[in-house]
Amino acid sequence: EPEVTQTPSHQVTQMGQEVILRCVPISNHLYFYWYRQILGQKVEFLVSFYNNEISEKSEIFDDQFSVERPDGSNFTLKIRSTKLEDSAMYFCASSESRFGTQYFGPGTRLLVL
Amino acid sequence: AQTVTQSQPEMSVQEAETVTLSCTYDTSENNYYLFWYKQPPSRQMILVIRQEAYKQQNATENRFSVNFQKAAKSFSLKISDSQLGDTAMYFCAFLYPQGGSEKLVFGKGTKLTVNP
């Protein structure tokens, strides 16, 4: 069964450093999402992406964040200058249609020191 | 804004028994989707079940079924014949297409432990 994959599974970085989280969505899916989950808290929406454009973003998704689909398979989330409060689990998701079921990847656990 | 409430932070059940997890939501809209996702200790988010609000019939997936009460804005998940592998956090989530938003709105989750 096709699945969303994410790399790396864990990342430790120093405050102020840039990180890039990578995702490979399910191959025939066209809509891509990033969510995050701070430990012990609910899952929060960050951004949705379609046709090489951001279609929706949350208040969390400020100028420090960016997303890109650099090729036909990868979907990336970049945090330009990480803060301690960016420590969280970051989930990528994809769906076949705009309001279709979103399938999640296994997540990247980011720790900012 | 739509909100999702899961009033049971933790629950436990004996293996092979049945357990029901509660979820309520707040919306004034008529057409939306509801989901249950499972997050085992590995922390991967796994889709359990999906319900379209316009469908009166409750969704089922093997041992998992929902009790969707639209008027009461309630969407509970029933797990029958609980197995040890069902131990996980369970999140209820809401999607409102007609508002133009693609984002899933999640509840805080219920931690379910299945005991041998």
For residue A98, list chain B residues with Cβ-Cβ distance below 8 A.
97, 102
Q: How far is CA A15 from the centre of its chain?
A: 19
In chain B, DSSP assigns E strands to 3-5, 10-14, 19-21, 24-26, 33-39, 46-52, 60-61, 64-69, 74-79, 88-95, 105-106, 110-115
pLDDT of residue B18: 98
Contact B103 A101 (CB under 8 A): no
Contact B106 A103 (CB under 8 A): no
pLDDT of residue B47: 94
pLDDT of residue A71: 87
- Residue A64 CA to residue B95 CA, distance in Å, equals 27
Contact B102 A91 (CB under 8 A): no
List the structure tokens of A33: 């999402």
What does residue B71 show for φ and ψ, rounded to 5 degrees? Answer: -65, -35
pLDDT of residue B67: 96
pLDDT of residue A81: 95
For residue A41, what pLDDT band results from cuts at 50, 70 and 90?
A: confident
In A19-85, DSSP assigns E strands to 19-24, 31-37, 44-50, 53-57, 65-68, 75-79
CA of B44, closest CA in chain A: separation in Å? 4
pLDDT of residue B98: 64
Mean confidence (pLDDT) of chain A: 93
By the 8 A CB rule, do B47 and B92 touch? no
pLDDT of residue B44: 82
Determine the 3-state secondary structure of A68 from DSSP: strand
What are the angstrom distances between the C-alpha of A66 and each of A88, A94, B11, B16, B63?
A: 17, 17, 38, 46, 40
Q: List per-residue pLDDT tens for chain B, 116 residues long.
A: 678 999 999 999 999 999 999 999 998 888 889 999 999 988 888 999 999 998 889 999 999 999 999 999 999 999 999 999 999 999 999 998 766 778 899 999 999 999 99
For A77-90, the three-class secondary structure string (H helix, E strand, C coil) is EEECCCCHHHCEEE
Of B42, B102, B107, the CB nearest to A42: B107
- Residue A93 CA to residue B1 CA, distance in Å, equals 22
